[in-house]
């Protein structure tokens, strides 16, 4: 299973902080039992970035084993990462063209969205 994970930092975040946020999220994803976390090639640079290199710090392809047990952990990690950050940051997760946008929604709203998304993509 492959997920595309895109960090959309708060528009008021400067380029240096965007890169820092991207590194932090990428590092947390790499700590999970995932097969790979790789930058998306050719991704557009985020607004305010000084070079295309910053794009690789905000968009990744996350490869999971076919067992799928770590899928829920990846989503929970992103949710927790967002909850520890100030600002209107968003993270989108896309699987087979289906996209979940995680932001600073209320805990109940976020839980409902995540539950529906996970149910659609959790291996049987």
- Domain boundaries along the sequence of the chain: 2-121
Model pLDDT, residue 54: 44
Q: In this predicted model, what pLDDT tens digit does every residue of 2-43 receive, in sequence order?
A: 999 999 999 998 989 999 999 999 999 999 999 999 999 765
Q: Which residue has the higher pLDDT, 43 or 93?
A: 93
The DSSP letter of residue 40 is P
Distance from C-alpha of 118 to C-alpha of 78, rounded to nearest angstrom: 13
Q: For residues 121 and 100, is the Cβ–Cβ distance under 8 A?
A: no
């Amino acid at each position: 299973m492959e997920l595309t994970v895109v960090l959309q930092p708060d528009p008021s975040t400067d380029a240096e902080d965007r890169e820092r946020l991207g590194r932090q999220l990428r590092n947390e994803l790499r700590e999970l039992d995932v097969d790979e976390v790789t930058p998306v090639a050719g991704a557009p640079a985020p607004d305010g970035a000084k070079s295309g290199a910053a794009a690789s710090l905000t968009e990744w392809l996350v490869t999971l084993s076919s067992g799928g047990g770590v899928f829920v952990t990846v989503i929970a990690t992103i949710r927790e990462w967002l909850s520890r950050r100030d600002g209107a940051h968003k993270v989108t997760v896309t699987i087979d063209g289906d996209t979940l946008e995680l932001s600073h929604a209320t805990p109940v709203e976020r839980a409902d969205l995540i539950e529906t998304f996970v149910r659609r993509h959790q291996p049987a």
